[in-house]
């Protein structure tokens, strides 16, 4: 049965939204936010500090002083997921021409979802960093997840929605 344009459109759209959300999440430092004696934002690649001096707030950003192995692994799995997701987008787009490409898109999307899921499970283990001071899967007081992590979780949800559409479980 040939893939309908609607199925291809929704699959590609979900995968593209996931891609954009993931790139945005990786590019912003607000994965973990600490609001205690200043505002600290911890990201996978960038950390920012906002301190108030004489009533004036100054924000400085730079590379993380401490790279935890868990967060490095999280970044690696996300990047691998992004690469596979690009392949899924390409294959799903090609499914308009040839039906068999949708099978490749399904498997690539599934693989990207696995990489993202592993990353989402590894990330909270890194809460044990000295500057965060938490425990695995448990943040201390005055600390919470930021919008970057929420964007990443939304990206994972969009991959799953795209997979459901690609498998014709939704949108028949």
Give the pLDDT band (50/70/90) at residue 66: confident
**Is the predicted pLDDT of residue 171 greater than 70, yes or no?**
no
Task: Provide the pLDDT for residue 57.
Answer: 81
In a domain, 172, yes or no: no
* Token pair in block for residue 122: 């590894």
In a domain, 171, yes or no: no
Q: What is the pLDDT of residues 131-156, one digit of tens each?
A: 888 899 999 988 999 999 999 999 99
What is the pTM for the complete model shown? 0.90
Q: Distance between CA 34 and CA 71 in Å, rounded?
A: 17
In a domain, 42, yes or no: yes
Q: Distance between CA 129 and CA 30 in Å, rounded?
A: 16
- Number of structural domains (the chain) is 1
Q: What is the pLDDT of residues 70-80, one digit of tens each?
A: 999 999 999 99
CATH number for the domain harbouring residue 120: 1.20.140.150
Is the CB of residue 24 less than 8 Å from the CB of residue 115? no
Q: Distance between CA 90 and CA 94 in Å, rounded?
A: 6
In a domain, 71, yes or no: yes
Give the pLDDT band (50/70/90) at residue 161: very high
Query: For residue 150, what are the domain limits?
Result: 5-166
């Amino acid at each position: 049965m040939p893939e309908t344009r609607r199925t291809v459109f929704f699959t590609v759209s979900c995968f593209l939204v996931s891609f954009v959300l993931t790139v945005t999440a990786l590019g912003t430092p607000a994965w973990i936010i600490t609001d205690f004696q200043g505002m600290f934002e911890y990201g996978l690649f960038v950390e920012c500090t906002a301190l108030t001096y004489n009533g004036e707030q100054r924000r400085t950003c730079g590379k993380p002083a401490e790279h935890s192995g868990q967060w490095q692994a999280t970044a690696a799995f996300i990047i691998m997921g992004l690469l596979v997701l690009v392949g899924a987008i390409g294959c799903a787009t090609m499914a308009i021409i040839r039906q068999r490409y949708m099978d490749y898109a399904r498997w690539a999307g599934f693989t990207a979802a696995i990489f993202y899921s592993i990353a989402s499970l590894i990330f909270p283990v890194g809460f044990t960093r000295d500057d965060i001071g938490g425990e695995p899967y448990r943040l201390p007081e005055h600390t919470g997840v930021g919008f970057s992590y929420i964007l990443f979780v939304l990206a994972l949800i969009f991959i799953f929605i795209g997979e459901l559409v690609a498998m014709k479980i939704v949108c028949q």
